[in-house]
Chains A and B, each alone.
Chain A
Amino acid sequence: MLKIENKADIFHYRALLFILCFALFSLLSRYFYLQVIDYDRHFSKSQINSVKALTTYAPRGLILDRYGEILVDNYPTYILTVTPYELRDKEQEFVKLSSIVGIDIEELNKRYKKYYRGPFLPTTVAKNLTFEQISQIEEMRLDFPGVQYDRSDERIYSSILNDAHFLGYLKEVDRDTIPKLDKNLLYRAGELIGWQGIEKQYEKELRFSKGVDYIEVDTYGREIFRLDSNNIPAFPGNDLSLTIDANLQRYSRNILEGKKGSVLVSNVNTGEILSMVSSPSYDLSVYRGTTSEFEWNNLLKNKDKPLLNRSIAGLYPSGSTLKLITVINLIENSLVDPSDSLLCTGIYVPPGSTNEFRCWNENGHGLVDLNKAIAQSCNIYFYETVQLISLKDWTDTAKKFGFNASTKIDLPNEKNGLIPDKDFYIKNYGRWGWSERGVLLNLTLGQGDILITPVQALRFINHIASRGETAQLRLNLSKEISYYDKIIYSEKIWNHIWDGMFDVVNADQGSGWRARLNGSDVKLFGKTSTAENPHGEPHAWFIGFFDVEDTTYSIVVMIENGGGGGAVASPIAGDIVSYYINSSKSLAEN
Chain B
Amino acid sequence: MLLDQFISNTTKNSVSRLFFIIIGLTTFSLMTLYSISDNPFSSDSSFYRQCVFLLFSFVVFIFVKNISMKTIHDNSTLIFITTFVFCIIPFFLPTVEYTYRWIDFGFFYIQPSEYLKCATVIVIAKYLSNHQLEVKDNSIIVVPSILTLLSAFIVLNQPDLGTAVIICAPLLPMLLWAGVSNFTIFLMITPIITIIAASNIIFFTVWALIMFICFLTFQASIMTKSILYFANIFTGLLTPFLWNNLANYQKQRILTFLNPDLDPMGSAYHIIQSITAIGSGGFFGKGWGAGSQTQLKFLPVQESDFILSVIAEELGFLGILCVMILCFLLIKTLLDIAFRASDYFASLVIVGLGSILLSHIFINSAMTIGLIPVKGLPIPFISAGGSFLLSCFIMIGLVVSFSKN
Contact = CB atoms under 8 A, between A and B. Distances in A.
B282 A5 contact: no
B371 A30 contact: yes
Interface of B: 38-39, 70, 73-74, 129, 132, 173, 176-177, 179, 264-265, 269, 273, 275-283, 292-293, 295-298, 312, 316-317, 320-321, 324, 327-328, 331-332, 335, 338-339, 341-347, 351, 354, 358, 361-362, 365-366, 369, 371
Contacts of A115: none
A45 interface: yes
Contacts of A45: 276, 279-280
Nearest to B308: A31
24 contacts: A4-B343, A5-B342, A5-B344, A6-B346, A17-B335, A20-B331, A20-B332, A20-B358, A23-B362, A24-B327, A30-B369, A31-B278, A31-B369, A35-B278, A35-B316, A35-B317, A39-B279, A39-B283, A42-B280, A46-B279, A49-B276, A51-B265, A118-B39, A120-B295
A38 interface: yes
Given A4-B345, A35-B279, A27 B132 contact: no
Contacts of B342: 5-6
Interface string A40-79: 0111011101111000000000000000000000000000
Interface residues of A, number: 49
Interface of A: 1, 3-10, 12-13, 15-17, 19-21, 23-24, 27-28, 30-32, 34-36, 38-39, 41-43, 45-47, 49-52, 85, 117-121, 214, 219, 221, 230
Contacts of A24: 324, 327-328, 361-362
Nearest to A21: B328
A12 B343 contact: no
A56 to B, nearest CB: 16
A27 B362 contact: yes
Contacts of B335: 13, 16-17, 20
A120 B296 contact: yes
A8 B338 contact: yes
A498 B129 CA distance: 95
Contact of A43 (B129, B269, B282, B328): B282
Scoring B129, B177, B273 by chain A CB atoms within 10 A of each residue's CB, the highest score goes to B177
A32 B73 contact: no
| Residue of A42, A85, A119 ringed by the most chain B CB atoms within 10 A | A42
Given A16-B176, A21-B328, 15 more contacts: A7-B179, A10-B339, A16-B177, A24-B324, A24-B361, A34-B279, A39-B279, A39-B283, A43-B280, A46-B293, A50-B273, A50-B293, A50-B296, A117-B38, A118-B39
B179 A42 contact: no
B381 to A, nearest CB: 15
Given A35-B278, A35-B317, A42-B279, A12 B265 contact: no
A31 B295 contact: no
Contacts of A20: 328, 331-332, 335, 358
A39 B293 contact: no
Contacts, number: 140
B296 A221 contact: yes
A1 B347 CA distance: 15
Given A12-B177, A120-B295, A27 B324 contact: yes
Nearest to B69: A1
Nearest to B365: A27
A4 B129 contact: yes
B343 A31 contact: no
A85 B278 CA distance: 22
Given A4-B345, A16-B173, A30-B371, A23 B276 contact: no
Nearest to B317: A35
B318 to A, nearest CB: 9
Contacts of A121: 38
A5 B348 CA distance: 12
Given A13-B335, A221-B296, A35 B312 contact: yes
Contact of B344 (A6, A34, A85): A6
Contacts of A30: 369, 371
A52 B298 CA distance: 7
Contact of A31 (B38, B132, B317, B347): B317
Candidate in A8, A13, A39, A43 with the most chain B CB atoms within 10 angstroms: A8
Interface centre among A10, A52, A120 (most CB of B within 10 A): A120
A36 B283 contact: yes
A36 B296 CA distance: 23
Contacts of B269: 51
A13 B283 CA distance: 33
A230 B279 contact: no
B343 A6 contact: yes
Contacts of A13: 335, 339
Nearest to B71: A1
The 8 closest A-B pairs by CB, nearest first: A42-B279, A46-B280, A118-B38, A219-B292, A4-B344, A34-B279, A35-B317, A6-B347
A35 B293 contact: no
Contact of A23 (B280, B296, B358): B358
A219 B297 CA distance: 11
B38 A4 contact: no
A10 B276 CA distance: 42
Nearest to B325: A24
Given A8-B177, A16-B351, A31 B344 contact: no
Nearest to A2: B130
Contacts of A42: 275-276, 278-280
A219 B293 CA distance: 8
A440 B129 CA distance: 87
